[in-house]
Amino acid sequence: MSHNSFGHLFRVTTWGESHGPALGCVVDGCPPGLPISADMIQHWLDKRRPGGSRFVTQRQEPDQVEILSGVFEDERTDGLVTTGTPISLMIRNVDQRSKDYGEIRDKYRPGHADYVYDMKYGVRDYRGGGRSSARETAARVAAGAVARLVLPGMTIRGTMVQMGPHKIDRSRWDWAAVDENPFFCPDPVAAKEWEDYLDGIRKAGSSVGAVLEVVAEGVPAGLGSPIYAKLDQEIASALMSINAVKGVEIGEGFGAAELTGEENADEMRLGPNGHPVFLSNKAGGILGGISTGEPIVARFAIKPTSSILTLRQSVSATGEEVDLRTKGRHDPCVGIRAVPVGEAMIACVIADQFLRHRGQTGRPGPVDYPLHRG
């Protein structure tokens, strides 16, 4: 069962609510002998952390991760290594203004999970969205940082390729630009324009959606499985599990529906070293559920933040019609903070598939782990 877990050989279980004492995850299945530190994990958490710019929620959370288990001192390096036992990671909640939420205790905010939680559970922690808060994604980013340890030599990078109706110009794609604007946008010209656009949205108390793209390079051919553990299937599952995601596509995605067979199928030739190469990557690095060796390209659509300052029609838990505006600290484009989350989810999926590949096939896979002894 997988209510709060994902993955199989690399398995992540998350826990925690927005306004409880802490949140965290247990990463089960990380191979032994991998160098690890809280700093390595913190690096990725800082990328996702709120409070970074005026375009994300002003909640100030240091999001300091604590490693509670699964590591041990490596006497040769004086650093920590994984031991193969479960790695428990915890982040204390600090800046919880619970009083902001008393007002919406019994009122169902449109676009939020309030109503369906009551339908399902009959009880809910209404403070800051409780379990359905985007804060849960901090635990995903922490788990993704561990997954990256399992995948040396692979590069997994997320970007924003569309904000509201505004798409990037792909001819201007520049990986270096991604870290130089507040949107993880690979098109520096678009990023500049988006600043003004999002300022307008923000000042109007409104919000806007986005499309994100994650590219994983260095993934060897052969990961995934033909039927119900397809690599693209697990990526779709992982991305759709992120709050506010409404669509996922691989490679050409929905655009493939418009192509003919001649246009869509990637042809092959022998490369300089005599190995097969693909002449294009319409498939987004996956055929028949299995990686081809080409970069894996996944996009996902994030809906606009549901919390806005405009008065909206709703109902209450006690059966009355109400008009409601969602105050508090919020994101005009929650898609921004979803970029590192998307990266993390894909890192976790690939780590899991990589470990499964070795178990399934007896083939070693690309990574030789630096085991501590013998």
Between 14 and 176, whose beta carbon lies closer to a copy of itself?
14
Burial of 233 (0-12, 13-18, 19+ CB in 10 A): middle
- Residue with Cβ nearer a copy of itself (34 or 45): 34
- How far is Cα 302 from Cα 334, in angstroms, rounded to an integer? 8
Residue 76 labeled ligand binder: no
Q: Which H or E run includes 347?
A: helix 335-361
The distance of closest approach from Cβ of residue 192 to a copy of itself in the complex, given in angstroms and rounded to an integer, is: 20
Q: Report the DSSP pairing between strands 65-67 and 11-16.
A: unpaired
Between the alpha carbon of residue 349 and those of residues 140, 151, 238, 250, the distances in Å are 12, 11, 7, 14
Spatial CA neighbour of 344 closest among 141, 152, 86: 141
Question: Sign (positive/negative) of CA torsion 131, 136, 139, 143?
Answer: positive
Task: Please return the burial class of 18, using the count of CB atoms within 10 Å of its CB with bins 0-12, 13-18 and 19+.
Answer: buried
Q: Is 329 annotated as a binding residue?
A: yes
C-alpha triplet 54, 299, 112: angle, nearest 5°: 55
Q: Is 363 annotated as a binding residue?
A: no
Shortest distance, CB of residue 220 to a copy of itself, whole angstroms? 8
Residue with Cβ nearer a copy of itself (57 or 306): 306
Distance CA 234, CA 241 (A): 10
Reference 219, options 140, 141, 150, 144; nearest CA is 150
Confirm if 344 and 140 have CB atoms less than 8 A apart.
Answer: yes
Q: How far is the CB of 157 from a copy of itself (least distance, A)?
A: 20
Please indicate if the annotation marks 54 as binding a ligand: yes
Nearer to a copy of itself, 144 or 176 (CB): 144
Q: How many Cα atoms within 13 Å fall on the side-chain side of residue 341?
A: 26
Distance between CA 331 and CA 328 in Å, rounded? Answer: 10
The answer to whether 306 is a known ligand-binding residue is: yes
Residue 81 C-beta: closest distance to a copy of itself, Å: 6
Of the candidates 12, 28, 3, the residue with the CA atom closest to the CA atom of residue 346: 12
Q: Give the residue with the Cβ less far from a copy of itself, 133 or 176.
A: 133
* Closest separation in Å from C-beta 19 to a copy of itself: 10
Q: Is 305 annotated as a binding residue?
A: yes
Looking at the Cβ atoms of 176 and 364, the one nearer to a copy of itself is: 364
In the complex, the smallest distance separating the C-beta of residue 106 from a copy of itself, rounded to whole angstroms, is 10
Q: How far is the CB of 154 from a copy of itself (least distance, A)?
A: 15
Hey, which residues does 36 pair with through a beta bridge? 80
Annotated binding-site residue? 307: yes
Judge whether 299 is annotated as a binding position: no
Taking the least distance from each CB to a copy of itself, the nearer of 44 and 108 is: 108
- The least CB distance from residue 133 to a copy of itself, in Å, is 10
Question: Is 13 known to sit in a ligand binding site?
Answer: no
For a copy of itself, the closer of residues 68 and 94 by Cβ is 68
Is 223 in contact with 354 (CB distance < 8 Å)? Answer: yes
Q: Is 176 annotated as a binding residue?
A: no
Binding residue positions:
48, 54, 131-133, 243-244, 288, 303-307, 329
Binding residue positions for NADP(+):
48, 54
Binding residue positions for FMN:
131-133, 243-244, 288, 303-307, 329
